[in-house]
A and B are shown apart, each in its own frame.
Chain A
Amino acid sequence: MSAATSGPRFSHVDDATAMRASLSLLLPDLRFVSSHGSVEGLLTARPEADVVILDLHLANTGQPDASQGTTAIRRIVEAGYRVCIYSQEERRFVLAACLAAGATGVVSKAASLAEAEAAFRAVAAGEPVIPPGITGLIEVLVRRRSITVLTPRQREVLAHRARGLTYAEMSRTMYLSESTLRGYWMELAQLVSEYLRETSPGDIEHALGLRPGDLLDLWPG
């Protein structure tokens, strides 16, 4: 499937044939073990992969009933894989719903290949990859005391991440090592993921100041 023979194993799910064929060629240093046009195909094949790189929109005229969105994420997570969303979707609440459904990371297809590769590797290492836009939403939930379990350090890390700062930059201002900061971030993301999974859409709507029902269609059921 790809030239790389060591490192974390990736499987790619995308309904676009060109994407499936090209991603492993564009990221030759990643170890791709399989690619699939649908979640159903992935779950049937059950490849030995650590991370599934998943496009959000999979239904098309060729496979109108294919699982997609938060449903697809849940099925893959329940099958024991880590999920990294790789999509053109930019609506923050949709991407937040993906995290609520169990995705570990969200990467935009507009990101550079280097950035995408780094993000996939981070997800494989168990590190949540959350874009600043969604981090900003988490910041709102924390500020409005909907999420109350974070420590002051975690809140500080969250504030810096929401402003786009990298670990290297945070390390210089907070006088902590990058690995320590990464640890804070992973703990924080874990707590946030649990919160998103366990909190009803209505409560989140209320905390974010949304209208009732705004998240209902997006949120995993």
Chain B
Amino acid sequence: MVRGFVGVGGTHGAWILDPCAAASPAISDNSLVPHSTRAAAVRLVAFFVAGMRLATLAQMAPTLLAAMPALSRADHPWLTGATWILATVMLVVIAAVAVVTRRPPGVALAVVDVAVAVALLVVGLWTVPVELRTGSWVGFQLGYALCVSCSLSAIRSRWLWMFLLVSLALAEAVYIAPTVDGLADLTGALSTWLTLLILGPLAWFGCRTIVRIGTEADEARRYAAAAAKAEEERRARLAIHNGTAMMRLLVETDAADGNGALRSQAEVELNRMRAYLSGHTPAPANEATNLAAVATALGAEFDDLPITVVADLAQDITLPRALADDLAAALRSLLLNVRQHAQATRVVLHAAEDEDGSGWEVTLHDDGIGFDTSTTAYGVGLREVVVTQLARSGVDVEISSIPDLGTTVTLTQTTASVQVP
């Protein structure tokens, strides 16, 4: 059994089930964990079974008390007493097992239960007078059989369940057949017989449906927990990636004293990491910002690079604050890559609205050493901070690079790619 509490800070936490348990439709196995909907559904079914047993026992009890004094005058007193005792014991035992284990009786117990019910019906041919077999709890066998037929929800095999139900039905038919003497008796017997054939399947199907709903709820919860975990990890990578790159630059270049731009960037990343650790993600403001302003600000941050910002055609593009922040983080990550790896002598950051006004495009080009995109795996920054994060805002990312010629990253957002909330 594998259990765990996933998520950070409890905000996305959820108990999860053993995947093997979830895959199994059995409702009486030992794979349940406390805080699952499936476990609750199985408990409900167990209480239903126990309730049925106790209700049957309660209905048998007055008749039993009245019948005991007259037992010595019956045709088969010992046999009659034994059937009453056996039925009472079975009812109590099954109810107790269901309450204690909080599961309906397992397959073996269910088979024994049905066998006892069939035996009681057959023995009832000798112990119960014909006129008392229906409409009286002296002939408790019919009520007992109905109760048993409603307790088979633990049986997964459809064929076994049908066999047991048919066994009960046949035994019941044999038990009530002698009561039929004319059409009026036939309809009464038939309705009694059909009650078992209808309520039994209804209980079986209903109980299994409840448990299946519980199972699916657990699967949905597990999926949500996994998605929350993945989201949390993504947020962590997003918050930390650029910061670690900044720290590496500060350490490797020994530029902490003199490079103001580097220090400013480090401060931005520090604030981002602190916001993540404190759990207080800044609420996205409704203020929009300008694509040209974002590009220009990023260019200023990296003025130690031979960078040219061309953003005249992006003046009319306003961006939601959240997208502007994501875009800035993505460009910062790309420019950190350029600074660390490209060995470029010229970097151009170009931003422009599409000619037909249907969107915008940002291009970052460097004439550095480039790389083979078919053999080089993207790092965390490129994969998470750029591609994945921008894809959430409907921004497509295309990376083309030619060894020894340079690299071009194109970020594109068209009206069609923006999801309207």
The interface of chain A, by Cβ under 8 A from chain B, is 110-112, 115, 131-133, 135-137, 139-140, 143, 162-166, 168-169, 172-173, 208-209
Contacts and interface: CB of A to CB of B under 8 A. Distances in A.
Contact of A139 (B309, B312, B366): B312
Contacts of A140: 312-313
B350 A132 contact: yes
Interface residues of B, number: 24
Contacts of A132: 308, 310, 346, 348, 350
A131 B400 CA distance: 22
- Best-buried of B313, B350, B366 by chain A (most CB within 10 Å): B350
Contacts of A208: 312
Contact of A135 (B310, B346, B366, B405): B310
Contact of B367 (A131, A133, A139, A164): A164
Interface string B322-355: 0000000000000000000000011110101001
B107 to A, nearest CB: 68
Given A140-B313, A172-B402, A162 B367 contact: no
B363 to A, nearest CB: 5
Contacts, number: 63
Contact of B350 (A111, A143, A162): A162
21 contacts: A110-B306, A111-B345, A112-B345, A115-B345, A131-B308, A132-B310, A132-B348, A133-B309, A136-B313, A136-B350, A139-B312, A162-B310, A163-B310, A163-B348, A163-B408, A164-B308, A164-B347, A166-B367, A166-B406, A169-B405, A208-B312
Given A112-B345, A163-B348, 15 more contacts: A132-B308, A133-B309, A133-B310, A135-B310, A136-B312, A140-B312, A140-B313, A162-B350, A163-B363, A163-B365, A163-B408, A165-B408, A168-B402, A169-B405, A169-B406
A137 B312 contact: yes
B333 to A, nearest CB: 19
A143 B350 CA distance: 15
B406 A133 contact: no
A188 to B, nearest CB: 17
Interface string B301-321: 000001011111101000000
- Best-buried of B345, B346, B348 by chain A (most CB within 10 Å): B348
A211 to B, nearest CB: 14
Given A164-B346, A172-B402, A143 B310 contact: no
Contacts of A164: 308, 346-348, 350, 363, 365-367
Contacts of A137: 312
A139 B314 CA distance: 12
Contacts of B366: 164
Contacts of A168: 402, 405
A97 B225 CA distance: 61
